[in-house]
């Protein structure tokens, strides 16, 4: 469990740690996607922006996710993909995001190579879910993930290996 005080500047601590990482790259030909892990700019209580996808979607329907999606031919990079998708999904203009780091790539359960980017946005930024893609957009305090116990740990199988994925519950999500 994370031990903190009210004077911990979580945003600064995170930026310092992220500046020292070397993101993992995964080799191979797969469809690619970019996602945005957007944090609000409150130094002591940053929140993570999450979405709940529309239950009518053919893939990932009803799931909680970061804003993002598959790379278009017009996207110059996966970072551009993540920013474009965040704009389409939650109305977040790309110039309102200060991207601070890329995280290691992962392969989704559908075989898509996902590249996450961490960005900082104003805590008062108005976000609005695109009703064609999302049921809602919401924010979760970063401290929730640092302080709370996991609701469950799901075991997934991928290429004969077991992967353990934490699951959380937050205000009905």
Contact criterion met (CB below 8 Å) for 53 and 99: no
> Rounded mean pLDDT of 48-65?
84
The two tokens of residue 168 are 């959380």
- Indicate the pLDDT class of residue 136, thresholds 50, 70 and 90: very high
Measured CA to CA, the distance from residue 64 to residue 53 in angstroms comes to: 6
pLDDT in tens, 62-94: 889 999 999 999 999 999 999 999 999 999 999
Residues 93, 132: Cα–Cα separation, whole Å: 18
Residue 35: name the closest of 78, 73, 74, 75 by CA: 78
pLDDT in tens, 36-46: 999 999 988 99
* Predicted TM-score (pTM) of this structure: 0.88
Return the pLDDT at 1.
46
What pLDDT score does 55 carry? 80
pLDDT digits (tens, 9 = 90+) for 16-29: 999 898 998 988 89
Residue 2 has pLDDT above 70, yes or no: no
15: alpha, beta or left? (left if phi > 0; alpha if psi -120 to 50):
alpha
pLDDT at 144 over 60: yes
Query: What are residue 121's DSSP bridge partners?
Result: 40
H or E element, residue 56:
none
């Amino acid at each position: 469990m994370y031990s903190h005080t009210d004077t911990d500047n979580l945003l600064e601590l995170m930026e310092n740690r992220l500046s020292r990482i070397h993101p993992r790259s995964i080799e191979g030909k797969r469809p690619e996607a970019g996602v945005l892990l957007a944090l609000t700019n409150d130094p002591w209580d940053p929140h993570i922006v999450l979405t709940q996808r529309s239950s009518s979607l053919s893939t990932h329907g009803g799931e909680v996710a970061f804003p993002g999606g598959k790379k278009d031919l017009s996207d110059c990079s996966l970072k551009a993909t993540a920013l474009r998708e965040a704009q389409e999904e939650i109305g977040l203009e790309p110039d309102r995001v200060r991207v601070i780091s890329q995280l290691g790539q992962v392969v989704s359960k559908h075989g898509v190579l996902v590249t996450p980017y961490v960005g900082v946005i104003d805590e008062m930024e108005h976000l609005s879910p695109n009703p064609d893609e999302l049921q809602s957009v919401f924010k979760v305090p970063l401290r929730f993930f640092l302080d709370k116990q996991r609701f469950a740990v799901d075991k997934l199988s991928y290429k004969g290996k077991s992967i353990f994925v934490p699951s959380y519950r937050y205000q009905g999500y």
